[in-house]
Structure 1
Amino acid sequence: MEVKINREIRNYTESMFFGLSMRQFIFSVFACVVAVGLYFLLRPYMGTETVSWVCILGAAPFAALGFFKYHGMTAEQFLWAWLKSEFLIPKKLVFRSENLYYELLKGEIEAREKEEWKKHD
């Protein structure tokens, strides 16, 4: 008998329905609801093949959100972090180079430049 254990315990997700975690299952159901809603909404206005492609394209982002992970964050956490960093608390980061050697010898360099100007005059 062999028991599989994840190397990193924080990566463990419990399978609830059809091998999906609860979060993945909820997003999958939501994607199905969106697809069915689009189908009944657009069926009178478009052909069957076009409506089927629109349903797929409309449901795909919601299904993908259930599986999305970026730097250990879920889709909602990532979207909230992005929203905060771009719109709620934006910071303009400006790069200013710093020449430490020049700062240390600034007075000496300026004195030499003044002497050279006096020689040329």
Structure 2
Amino acid sequence: MEIKVNKEVRNYTESIFLGLSIRQCFFSVIACIVAVLMYFLCIDSLGMEMTSWLCMLGAAPFASLGFITYQNMNAEQIVLTAWHSFLLSKTDLIYKPFNLYQELFKDVFEKQKKEALGKNDKKLRKIKETK
């Protein structure tokens, strides 16, 4: 007897109906409802072939919402994240490098620079005096 166990416990999803999770079943039912509504609304005016294509195209987005995941986010979370990042937080990102090490030891560096210039000045003075 073999028991399937996910390698990652957090990836476990309980299957409710025909191997689908609750989320997938919910969006599949919504897709079926949309397809049936489109069928009854368009069958008289468009004919059978156009109505069948329209039903498939209308139901496909709703059916796919139950199955889409990206970086452990559901379709709604992906849409909300995209909405927030593209439209709500529209700021220009300017790269300004920040050297924490330099900021912390700025005083020490300036002191070393002054000492180095002071030593060089003395050496230059001695060289000029000897000439």
Deviation, 1:87, is 1.3
Gap runs ≥5 in structure 1: 98-121
The answer for the alignment partner of 2:91 in structure 1 is 91
State the TM-score, normalizing by the size of structure 2: 0.70
Deviation, 1:17, is 1.0
State the TM-score, normalizing by the size of structure 1: 0.76
User: CA deviation digits over 1:49-85, x for unaligned, max 9?
Assistant: 1100000000001101100001110000110101111
Secondary structure of residue in 1 paired with 2:46: coil
The AA in structure 1 aligned to 2:78 is F
Q: How many equivalent residue pairs?
A: 98
Deviation, 1:91, is 2.1
Deviation, 1:94, is 3.4
Instruction: Compare 83-92 and 7-16 and name the one that shifted more.
Output: 83-92
CA RMSD, aligned part only?
1.6
The answer for the alignment partner of 1:10 in structure 2 is 10
Gap runs ≥5 in structure 2: 98-131
Structure of larger gyration radius? 2
Query: Structure 1 runs of 4+ off > 6 angstroms?
Result: none
- Decide which structure has greater helix share: 2
Identity of aligned pairs, percent? 53
* Structure 1 residue 60 corresponds to structure 2 residue 60: yes
Q: For residues 64-83 of structure 1, what are the structure 2 equivalents within 5 Å? A: 64-83=64-83
